[in-house]
Amino acid sequence: MSYANSRIPVSAQQGVHDDLLRQVARHRDQPFRKPVAQYNRAAFDLALSGWDNQAPLILDAGCGVAHSTIALARAHPAHWVIGVDQSADRLARRKPYPDALLPKNMVLVRADLVDFWRLLALAGLRLAKHYVLYPNPWPKIGHLGRRWHAHPVFTTLPQLGGVLECRTNWQVYIEEYTLALGLLIGRAVPWETFEAPTPLTPFERKYRDSGQPLYRAVVDLDAPG
Ligand SMILES: C[S@@+](CC[C@H](N)C(=O)[O-])C[C@H]1O[C@@H](n2cnc3c(N)ncnc32)[C@H](O)[C@@H]1O
């Protein structure tokens, strides 16, 4: 497939999955007991080792090659910005700047977000900003449980507070995500289409250059309900 010819996820699922809200309610009502892996604890410690315990925290969850983490760190020099991805290969890919010019207020760690998010919550940490940018859509009907909003860990995200932003190129994903989040926080979560004149991530650039609509949901979890 050529660069600017990326496709919107193709799915037999044309709208919100029939099981979505049942699944989210089940996750909300049952504790998620999966043990935390040691390598994720180590990654968590590493992520905070350069933090001064004062700077507001930004999490770039599923940062991929981390261009967005770098951009966020440059835009928010007084914040500590953490980029997390499970792919060591993506994290290691060449950055738009030499190492010496990378912002000092950021760190990249390889970890599974299923554990990393829970470690943040267990430590009682709160985020100022939280980005979930172009998560894998898992568009097959049978893969609902792999989408973040239908995964048991999703109930942890509201506990982390801050301004939570999700972006995707699949309308069904943003519809499901906002419904699921709305169920957890007890208020409607709006979504919108948007233009990306300055793409924040490589996926955003690719989708934009392919002429696809982009969707996002931004919610301030600390705002009164
Ligand atoms: C479609 S890519 C988007 C990457 C980046 N946000 C962007 O927009 O360019 C999704 C990313 O999520 C990461 N990811 C998926 N599941 C993950 C998990 N359980 N823990 C950490 N990262 C995960 C993948 O490795 C991949 O880099």
Which residue lies with its CA nearest to atom 3 of ligand 1?
A: 134
> Which of 11-20, 118-127, 166-175 shows the lowest per-residue confidence on average (mean pLDDT)?
11-20
Ligand 1 contacts CB of residue 134 (under 6 A) = yes
- State whether the beta carbon of 87 lies less than 6 angstroms from ligand 1: yes
Measured in Å, residue 224 CA sits from the centre of ligand 1 at 31
DSSP letters, 132-194, are EES-----SGGGGGGSGGGSGGGGGGGGG-SEEEEEES-HHHHHHHHHHHHHHHTS----EEE
What pLDDT is attached to residue 213? 96
* 194: pLDDT strictly greater than 90: yes
With beta carbons less than 8 A apart as the criterion, state whether 79 and 104 touch. no
Amino acid 2: pLDDT: 58
Nearest atom in ligand 1 to the alpha carbon of residue 200 is 8
Q: What percent of the chain has pLDDT over 70?
A: 99
Q: What are phi and psi of 124, to 5 degrees?
A: 70, 20
Q: Is 40 in the pocket of ligand 1 (CB under 6 A)?
A: no
pLDDT of residue 12: 80
In the predicted structure, residue 124 carries a pLDDT above the cut 80: yes
- Residue ranges per domain, the chain? 17-220
pLDDT > 90: percent of the chain: 89
Fold topology of 17-220: Rossmann fold (3.40.50)
pLDDT at 22: 98
Taking the model in full, what pTM does it have? 0.96
Residue 1, pLDDT score = 46
Averaged confidence pLDDT in the chain: 95
